[in-house]
Amino acid sequence: MDFKNKSIISIRDMKRDEIDFIIKSAEILQDNWKNYKDYLKDRILGTLFFEPSTRTRISFETAMKRLGGMVVGFSAPEGSSLAKGENLIDTVRVIENYCDAIVLRHPLEGAARLAANYVKIPVINAGTGAEEHPTQALLDLYTIFKEKGGIDGLNIALLGDLKYGRTVHSLTYALSNYKVKLTLVSPPLMKIREEIIEDLKNKRIKITETSSLDEVINEIDVLYVTRIQRERFADATEYERVKGSYRIELKTLKNAKKDLIIMHPLPRLEEISQEVDYTNHAVYFKQVKYGLIVRMAILLLIFGFELK
């Protein structure tokens, strides 16, 4: 498996053996990352955040610096020549002269693929448009792998806004490479789109759809919680009602499996009560740590180092 100089654009581009290879590489790195602390010495990562995302940016920057590398870039479009109307292609063609790989966050779908087509250095998609955020999907898989000892055979519930959430789409496609049962829990208005269901069925994923977490809580191994966004509701009262009925509290979990893990891409608002943080179910802060390892692994791989 060779990721050297390859771009990471979409989880849909990746086959199971490629995903497994990244997971395995991350696992090798997990306890030994300090041995790799000079591997990216003299390399420069360009972090181009055309929309702000503090946690994703700092995660990549930390990954690069922990491996001895350097970072240049911008954290928000204010101050970029985008304000002068420059197009994305010119921007990345300029920036590629300054660095050895690009991490790109952009509000438009397809921006990372477009960029990758025009530069000679690898591009890592750090979130584009409403659908793609491949390193988030990879870190989610890695979290499940590490916390549950594997992915095949699990019953994984996705909860919240399954219609619009970027994380959910990427993760669903990623999981479709595994033999999992998917339990989709959402308000009727926010059900996952029909074409995604079709795709998943074609891949022989077993799917349960429900609007009630209570009905399924005792059967699931992984509960992946996402935010229900206020913008989707015309009516504030309706929003409050729906939001409240999908909020995870201690009492929500009373019939849960003992080893259920609860994940969240963060930032979390009120979807998960803080009292849940102190249970063994909560792994959302550990997810952050796993994410850092996954990104370190990806950087090492695209710069041509194999982890074994």
Angle between helices 16-30 and 134-148 (to 10 degrees): 60
Q: How far is CA 177 from CA 87, 151, 225, in A?
A: 36, 10, 21
**Residues between 58 and 97 that touch a second copy (CB under 8 A):** 58-59, 61-62, 65-66, 70, 72-76, 78-81, 83-86, 89-91, 93-95, 97
Q: What is the chain's Cα-based Rg?
A: 19
Determine, following the binding rule CB under 8 A, whether residue 46 of this chain makes contact with a second copy.
yes
**Residue with the two structure tokens 């909020």:** 247
Which one, 188 or 267, has the nearer CB to a second copy? 267
Stretch touching a second copy by CB under 8 A, among 40-48, 107-115, 185-193, 249-257 = 40-48
Determine, following the binding rule CB under 8 A, whether residue 116 of this chain makes contact with a second copy.
no
Phi first, then psi, for residue 126 (nearest 5°) are -105, 30
Angle between helices 166-175 and 134-148 (to 10 degrees): 60
Which one, 6 or 286, has the nearer CB to a second copy? 286
Q: Give CA–CA dist 220/238, Å, rounded.
A: 28
Task: Supply the DSSP string of 273-292, one letter for each residue.
Answer: -GGGGGSTTB-HHHHHHHHH
Q: Please give the DSSP secondary-structure letter assigned to residue 248.
A: B
- Closest distance between a second copy and the C-beta of residue 297, in Å? 16
- The pattern of x and - marking residues 251 through 290 that bind a second copy according to CB under 8 A reads ---------------xxxx----x----------x--xx-
Which one, 42 or 152, has the nearer CB to a second copy? 42
- Closest distance between a second copy and the C-beta of residue 52, in Å? 3
Hey, which bits of the chain come out as E strands?
Answer: 44-49, 70-74, 101-106, 123-128, 155-159, 181-185, 206-210, 222-225, 261-263
Number of H helices, E strands in the chain: 10, 9
- Closest distance between a second copy and the C-beta of residue 9, in Å? 22
Determine, following the binding rule CB under 8 A, whether residue 28 of this chain makes contact with a second copy.
no
Binding residues for a second copy, rule CB under 8 A, total 48
Positive or negative CA dihedral for 276, 212, 266, 140? positive
Which one, 154 or 261, has the nearer CB to a second copy? 261
Q: Are 250 and 279 in contact (CB under 8 A)?
A: yes
Determine, following the binding rule CB under 8 A, whether residue 31 of this chain makes contact with a second copy.
no
Determine, following the binding rule CB under 8 A, whether residue 42 of this chain makes contact with a second copy.
yes
- Closest distance between a second copy and the C-beta of residue 116, in Å? 17
- Closest distance between a second copy and the C-beta of residue 16, in Å? 28
Determine, following the binding rule CB under 8 A, whether residue 52 of this chain makes contact with a second copy.
yes
Q: Which residues in this chain contact a second copy in the complex, by CB under 8 A?
A: 34, 37, 42, 44, 46, 49, 52-55, 58-59, 61-62, 65-66, 70, 72-76, 78-81, 83-86, 89-91, 93-95, 97-99, 266-269, 274, 285, 288-289, 292
